[in-house]
Amino acid sequence: MRYYDTLAEYTRAGFDIIVDKTWEDLPLKDLFDTSTDPDTGRPYYDVEQMARDIDAGRLDYFVLRVRAMYEDVELAVNYVGGFVYEDAAEVLRDGVAEDMIAETIEDAKKRVTQILEGLSKIPVDKSLV
């Protein structure tokens, strides 16, 4: 089971939006270009230094999750991983989370439409209402 740290909670377009993060499992070398920059003779990304900074708490390496909820029911969720920030909350200010929130809201609206269409096909005994 994964543990998530909540970064922010909003109400948008009638949905409760939760932005949270969890640790990233993938090795840095699988996500960052470690080949040599011909202009500098150094790697494009020094993943060994990045790993030391992550281990020391100077960098945060995480997966971002955005959920759209209604009445505690998750209607849509999106994940993006491989983020490296000094402060994970920066994703709330640099547009990353906002892009994911917009996408998740659109996904939730589509899901609501599907649910309503499906519910309309279920026969209901009106005497129970």
pLDDT tens for 63-77 read 999 999 999 999 999
Question: What's the confidence (pLDDT) of residue 76?
Answer: 98
Residue 81 structure tokens: 């991983």
Q: Give dist(CA 96, CA 105) in Å, integer.
A: 14
Give tens-digit pLDDT for 14-28. 999 999 999 999 999
Strand partners, 69: 16, 74
What is the percentage of the chain residues whose pLDDT exceeds 70? 99
124 confidence band (pLDDT: 50, 70, 90): confident
Burial (CB count within 10 angstroms: exposed 0-12, middle 13-18, buried 19+), residue 23: middle
State the DSSP code for 43.
B
95 or 1, higher pLDDT: 95
How far is the C-alpha of 32 from the C-alpha of 37, rounded, in Å?
A: 13
